[in-house]
Amino acid sequence: MSRKKHSKKHSKKQKNSSQFYFINWGLFVLSTILSAMVACYMYKYSFLAFRNINLIYAAVLAIVFFVALVTLLRKKGRILLMVLLLLTNLVTGMALYAFKSTADFSKKINNTASISEIEMSVLVPADSAIADVKELTTVLTPLRSDQANIEELLTHIQSDKNVTLIPQEVDSYQSAYDQIMSGSAQAMVMNGAYESLLEIAYPDFKEKVKKIYSYTLTKSVAPEDQASQEQATKSGVFNIYVSGIDTYGSISTVSRSDVNIILTVNVNTHKILLTTTPRDSYVQIPDGGGNQYDKLTHAGIYGVEASVKTLENLYGIDIQYYARINFTSFLNLIDLLGGVDIMNDQAFVAGGNDFPVGTVHLNSEKALVFVRERKSLESGDNDRGRNQIKVISAIINKLASVDSIANISSVVTGLQNSVQTNMDLETIMAIANKQLSSGSKFNVTSQDVTGTGSTGELPSYAMPNAALYMYSLDPASVEAAKQRMSAIVEE
């Protein structure tokens, strides 16, 4: 009887041993696959490439691999090996998730930066009996200022509806609107990027018209000079243009730029200079702006490239990278982060909210009011620009401190829908690793250019018939800003 029991125990032991053996081999194969994938991501995108952390991590993975392989072949230490492989798989799995999520996120915001979307429409008065473009023969078109987009729309209508609309030239979208509202014309073409401009002159614009046809044009954004970008990354000195828009729909939608900030970055000296240019600055706008003078914010309706070139010409600099932020969706992240705190240096009341001097806690709703307000502020648009920088900085700081894994997915989704940039992940990691290797914090300073404002005295290229507020920049202030930028670059 004892021999029989002993035999059963021995058989059970062998069975358990066999089970451990196959489980460990399965864990080993999984560990090898995960480690290989982590290594690929780590070296392709330069993750952890500072202070030799990537080399140390790779060495640890290699040691685990060889120790596990030898232990498996010798059939020793099965339980300890299983624990080791489980821990290794857990760590490498988390690392792989983080690396892949970051790479996918970067790809998404790069892809949206490579295109621009423009909604082109045919409008008629809201009370018009016309309901289809087939009922039209002519349409008002400001070909002088928007020829390429208008011609593409008319070509699409001809293909889609088999209707050939004859364009009637007007000098602006504003003139076209005035004519259809007066009854002297039936319909007009409308570029969605100009709608916000017309709403300034006609607050009830959207209620007064109806769209009988709409088509979204998708255009490729011309890439920046790659050689210049590579040289900037290598030298550690570069400029980033941050454009803040406030529009609904895709982040790729062409829109006015309400926030215009240039980050002059010197990674070598750990200094960043933020230069804010007021949105109403009266500046010369190239490309779609016809090299004519207009509000800086209007440069955005011709695409982000026009805004970049406008500021390059104004300050005599090269801007290698840009980032566009949609404030409406970007600020929604604040609620996911549990709110942000900013230091307010000027008390004001806006949108039914009181913003006292001192530390102010903002949710997304209050933050949107805070970044939009300018009329209640002493320096108007300049102070609004400073407030926008405060909120952007607060969000970035809060994002950097997020430690709840439950929020990561929501945060990444929100960022994908509210941010786009032409700076690829390899460049971002090269800059980040260089900074992390130094162990020093950035010294961030800011400046804004000043001038004098007037209404109705200076003409707008985009809105020639409107009496708009313009901000004439002080040449001395612009020159001083140039000198400070140059000082950061040359240190």
pLDDT tens digits, 69-95 = 998 888 777 888 889 999 999 999 999
Q: Among positive and negative, which fits the CA dihedral 47, 416, 229, 442?
A: negative
Q: Is the model's pLDDT at 404 over the cut of 50? A: no
Count how many residues are written for the chain.
491
CATH code reported for the domain at 117-220: 3.40.190.10
Nearest to 68 by CA among 57, 80, 52: 80
| pLDDT over threshold 90, residue 332 | no
Give the pLDDT confidence score for residue 375 in this predicted structure: 85
**Ranges of CATH 3.40.190.10 domains, the chain:** 117-220
Q: What is the pLDDT of residue 1?
A: 46
Q: Is residue 128 very low, low, confident or very high in pLDDT (cuts 50, 70, 90)? A: very high
User: What is the C-alpha separation between 415 and 419, in angstroms, rounded?
Assistant: 6
- The Cα–Cα gap between 62 and 92 comes to 12
Sheet holding 419-421, edge to edge: 419-421, 321-326, 237-245, 259-266, 271-276, 443-448
Mean predicted confidence (pLDDT) in 352-371: 92
Q: Does residue 244 register a pLDDT over 90? A: no
C-alpha 243/C-alpha 308 separation (Å) is: 9
Secondary structure (DSSP) of 355-377 = E-SEEEEE-HHHHHHHHH--TTS
User: For residues 427 and 285, which has the higher predicted lDDT (pLDDT)?
Assistant: 285
| Residue 311 pLDDT level (bands cut at 50, 70, 90) | very high
Per-residue pLDDT, averaged over 289-315, amounts to: 95
* Confidence at residue 231, expressed as pLDDT on a 0 to 100 scale: 85
Residue 134 or 332, more confident: 134
Please state the rounded mean pLDDT for residues 157-165: 95
> What is the phi/psi pair of residue 278, to 5°?
-55, 140
User: Distance between CA atoms of 109 and 70, rounded to whole angstroms?
Assistant: 44
CB atoms within 10 A of CB 220: 8
Please, what is the average pLDDT of the chain? 88
Q: What is the mean pLDDT of residues 419-445?
A: 83
pLDDT score at 401: 60
Average pLDDT (423-437) is 83
Alpha-carbon span 163 to 269, nearest angstrom: 62
What's residue 17's pLDDT?
60
Q: Which of 36-50, 146-160, 399-413 has the lowest mean pLDDT?
A: 399-413
**Where in the chain is CATH 3.40.630.190?**
226-490
pLDDT bucket at 30, cuts 50 / 70 / 90? very high
Instruction: Please check whether residue 362 is in contact with residue 334, taking contact to mean a CB–CB distance below 8 angstroms.
Output: yes
Radius of gyration of the chain from Cα atoms?
29
Q: Does domain 226-490 have CATH number 1.10.3110.10?
A: no
Distance CA 262, CA 312 (A): 10
Q: Taking residues 336-350, what's their average pLDDT? A: 90
Which residue type is seen at 358?
A: G
pLDDT, greater one: 298 or 351: 298
Distances (CA, A) of 126 to 138, 187, 435: 18, 11, 57
pTM of the model: 0.84
Give the 3-state secondary structure percentages of the chain, helix then strand then coil, rounded to 5.
Answer: 55, 20, 25
* Per-residue model confidence as pLDDT tens digits over 40-66: 999 999 888 888 899 999 999 999 999
